[in-house]
Amino acid sequence: MNPKDLYPEIEPYDMGFLSVGDEHEIYWEVSGNPQGKPVLFVHGGPGAGTGAAHRRFFDPAHYRIVLFDQRGCGKSLPLGSLENNDTPHLIADMELLREKLDIESWIVFGGSWGSTLSLAYAQAHPKRTDALVVRGIFLSRPKELEWYLSEQGVGSIFPEAYDDFISLLDEKEREDVLGSYYKRLTDPDPSVHLPAAKSWSSYEASCVTLLPNPEIVKASLDDERALPVGRLIAHYFVNGCFLPEGGLLGGIDRIRNIPAVIVHGRYDIVCPASTAYDLHKAWPEAEFKFIDDAGHSAFEPGIAKALVEAMDKFRTLN
């Protein structure tokens, strides 16, 4: 990451927890200009949560910057909970947060799983979505899940990371990697679910950047990060990410006229470039950018620069 391409660090001026029902409380915060154009940051994972660096994609003099942790993620409570945790509930939570903050409509900004949820939200609530900026495109199709979890997919590019990932499983379990991990991750015994969570989180962290980044891998092993990342990703994956029949490409007509920018790293291994290109072909009205020297992470220098540029361009929106 080149800090020069991002806005300076800022602190939130408002924050809290929103009770969304089902015993879930989601953490939210607002920074930037209290009278500014609202923008919602939608984090990845599922399960990753937000951090201070995510405020830095947005001009704080212009934008009212809203961050929130999805159900079971980050500071939201209860951590790692799968109860009533699905895409329709997350979309409803976003609407509850919008109403709580007295926001008529906002720009929606998300990457990786955050791109999935951003697109799903916009398709459900196009009149509340003024613009979209999506990065590291994940459409949650079966072939994308297979790519992520197979020796022929990510494992063909990162064979050592894949070997470490499946080493936790016995030979029988390896016949169904996702199902076996899901069983372990949902086991109530911490001695079973925590090693699985750390293995899953470490696997993803090993593959998200163009060049190796040991700091990201080390951070992924923290219990409070690993548990929601592993558990929620597996939960969403085994359920097809709770998307309607026809998926996100089937709903493009509902958002076709919303101003949008799509940013994707050419060498994104977690979410291959073909996925972003499929979205581009289905939605040619959206501005599309391949970043030729980047992988998956939002903080790859070229990707961060393109995201800031997109948000700077949208400063002209009313």
Q: Are 209 and 300 in contact (CB under 8 A)?
A: yes
Could you confirm whether domain 3-142+242-316 is CATH 3.40.50.1820? Answer: yes
What is the per-residue pLDDT for 242?
97
Tokens 């979309």 — which residue?
A: 91
Q: Distance (Å, rounded) from C-alpha 95 to C-alpha 125?
A: 9
Q: Would you list the domain boundaries of the chain?
A: 3-142+242-316, 143-240
- Give the predicted TM-score (pTM) of the model: 0.96
Burial class (CB in 10 A: 0-12, 13-18, 19+), 75: middle
Q: Are 115 and 286 in contact (CB under 8 A)?
A: no
Q: Distance (Å, rounded) from C-alpha 122 to C-alpha 106?
A: 10
What is the per-residue pLDDT for 1?
47
Dihedral of the alpha carbons of 112, 269, 178, 181, in degrees to the nearest 10: -90
What is the per-residue pLDDT for 3?
55
Q: How many residues are present in the chain?
A: 318
Residue 69 DSSP code: P
User: Which residues lie closer than 8 Å to 145 by C-beta, 6 or more apart?
Assistant: 178, 237
Q: Is the peptide bond before 46 cis (omega within 30 degrees of 0)?
A: yes
User: Which residues lie closer than 8 Å to 237 by C-beta, 6 or more apart?
Assistant: 145, 149, 178, 182
User: What is the block-wise mean pLDDT of the chain (318 residues), using blocks of 10 residues?
Assistant: 79 98 96 98 95 98 98 95 97 98 98 98 98 98 96 96 96 97 95 94 92 83 83 96 93 98 97 98 98 96 97 94
Query: What is the set of active-site residues?
Result: 112, 268, 296
What is the per-residue pLDDT for 2?
53
Q: Are 210 and 294 in contact (CB under 8 A)?
A: yes
Q: Distance (Å, rounded) from C-alpha 235 to C-alpha 227?
A: 12
